[in-house]
Amino acid sequence: MTSFPPDLSHAATAFALGGTRAVVEGARVLAARGEAGVLAVVVETAGSTYRKPGALILLDAAGVHVGALSGGCLEGELEAAARDVLARGVGADVRFDTSGDEDRVFGSGTGCGGSTRVRLLPLPARAAPLREALIDADQRGTALELRLAGAAEHIGAGEARVVGANGETRRYRFDARGGVRDDDDVPPDPIALTVRPAPRLLLLGAGPETRPLLRLTRMLGWRVELAEHRGRWARFAQDCGIDRTHDGGPDALPALFASTRFDAALVMNHNYLLDARCLTQLAATGISYVGLLGPASRRDDLLAEIGTDATARLQPHLHAPVGLTLGGEGAEAIALAIAAQLQIAFSRRVPA
């Protein structure tokens, strides 16, 4: 006899982590092994390119450790440049140009028609301020502001800034070798870049869609929290890589919203009254994306349930039924439709 929800205790516990969070975790792993790395930062692009300014790729002595600069055609040259940085111990610039006819025949052969400039920054195995800044920004869930030296004689040096929720700014200064820089000077002719924080998603309730949805969100590098006080339903999220779980129920949501910034919330309790209570709480927040699982008729009933004032506040941000109309059926298709719609919403958000 099959239990409901199904017993997933045998399933793999570590869903693949992607995005900038994977770069941060990769840098942490290299340091734990006592290995140096190179952080490649896209600083300038023109035309058609695979990555845009602020994109991060982590490399080690073996090549690309986490991330990608292209569809695979530029990685060989990037890895060679990174090995040179590891050997010399100082930062470097490298430019990739796929815009001309010559590149189609003698170069990468992609014909993409763009150019990319990448700054290669050493991450020594010892104290590395830039690595510390990456980890700090990830833990705080805030943007990482980079000021990289533009002058050729200072390439590799710079400053990383992490701004906390209370406005406090932490500065991490590094020299051309990636080590600690003690002076307070601003890098000459700085290149200013912002690495946006991972989107933060709140799941209000768990169900059959939770597991495939979490596989997608972790692969995309999002930070996901779950509010689920029902033990039976919480099993759907077991060993899925949830970043944080809240079990206080709908009455605890105001305190959660007051203490944590969320970019989106999904109401998916599979319970009419619980969904109504969650929608009422969400109506009082500034969360810019609220998704509601279920058909349009159920949505209309729920909006009537929560009243005209709450509905008026909620409707500009409400996506119901949640997800793009992609077709298909079942939990996996629903998860894909939701993740696709969220990706559109997150790509349009103002940088934090």
Please tell me the predicted confidence (pLDDT) of residue 12. Answer: 45
In a domain, 11, yes or no: no
In a domain, 10, yes or no: no
Q: List, in sequence order, the alpha helices (H) in 95-209.
A: 101-106, 129-140
pLDDT tens, N- to C-terminus, the chain (352 residues): 445 555 444 444 457 899 999 999 999 999 999 999 999 999 999 988 888 899 999 999 999 999 889 888 898 999 999 999 999 999 999 999 877 544 443 344 455 678 999 999 999 999 999 999 999 999 999 999 999 998 888 899 999 999 877 778 999 999 999 999 887 776 667 899 999 999 999 999 999 999 999 999 999 999 999 999 999 999 999 988 899 999 999 999 999 999 999 999 999 999 999 999 999 999 999 899 999 999 999 999 999 999 999 999 999 999 999 999 999 899 999 999 999 999 999 998 644 3
Please tell me the predicted confidence (pLDDT) of residue 188. Answer: 67
**Boundary (domain end) residue, out of 172, 195, 218:** 195
Please tell me the predicted confidence (pLDDT) of residue 20. Answer: 94
Q: Indicate whether 161 and 219 sit together in one domain.
A: no
Q: Indicate whether 205 and 69 sit together in one domain.
A: no
Within 8 A by CB and 6+ apart from 56, the residues are: 20, 23, 39, 40, 41, 42, 67, 195
Q: Are 123 and 152 in contact (CB under 8 A)?
A: no
Q: Indicate whether 74 and 214 sit together in one domain.
A: no
In a domain, 338, yes or no: yes
Task: State the CATH number of the domain containing residue 264.
Answer: 3.40.50.720
Could you tell me the two tokens for 142?
Answer: 């805030």
Q: Indicate whether 156 and 59 sit together in one domain.
A: yes
The helix/strand/coil state of 100 is coil
Q: Indicate whether 35 and 142 sit together in one domain.
A: yes
Q: Indicate whether 291 and 185 sit together in one domain.
A: no
Q: Is the peptide bond before 5 cis (omega within 30 degrees of 0)?
A: yes
What total of structural domains would you count in the chain? Answer: 2
In a domain, 104, yes or no: yes
**Boundary (domain end) residue, out of 195, 212, 238:** 195
Q: Which residues of 258-270 are buried (b: 16+ CB within 10 A; e: fewer)?
A: eeeebbbbbbbbb
Quick: pLDDT tens for 116-159: 999 999 999 999 999 999 999 999 999 999 999 988 888 999 99
DSSP state letters, 58-69: EEETTEEEE--S
In a domain, 2, yes or no: no
What is the reported pTM? 0.87
Domain that holds residue 254: 200-347
In a domain, 5, yes or no: no
Could you tell me the two tokens for 214?
Answer: 């979490």
Q: Which has the closest alpha carbon to 289: 251, 318, 325, 312?
A: 318
In a domain, 31, yes or no: yes
Q: Indicate whether 220 and 316 sit together in one domain.
A: yes
In a domain, 8, yes or no: no
Q: Indicate whether 189 and 287 sit together in one domain.
A: no
Q: Indicate whether 26 and 165 sit together in one domain.
A: yes
Strands 244-246 and 223-227: parallel
- Integer Cα distance of 54 and 195 in angstroms: 5
Q: Indicate whether 189 and 210 sit together in one domain.
A: no
Q: Indicate whether 77 and 173 sit together in one domain.
A: yes
Q: Indicate whether 320 and 205 sit together in one domain.
A: yes
Tell me the chain's radius of gyration from C-alpha atoms.
23
Please tell me the predicted confidence (pLDDT) of residue 71. Answer: 87
- Integer Cα distance of 249 and 233 in angstroms: 13
**Boundary (domain end) residue, out of 195, 220, 251:** 195
Quick: pLDDT tens for 10-26: 444 457 899 999 999 99
Distances (CA, A) of 133 to 138, 143, 174, 194, 351: 8, 10, 10, 13, 18
Please tell me the predicted confidence (pLDDT) of residue 50. Answer: 84
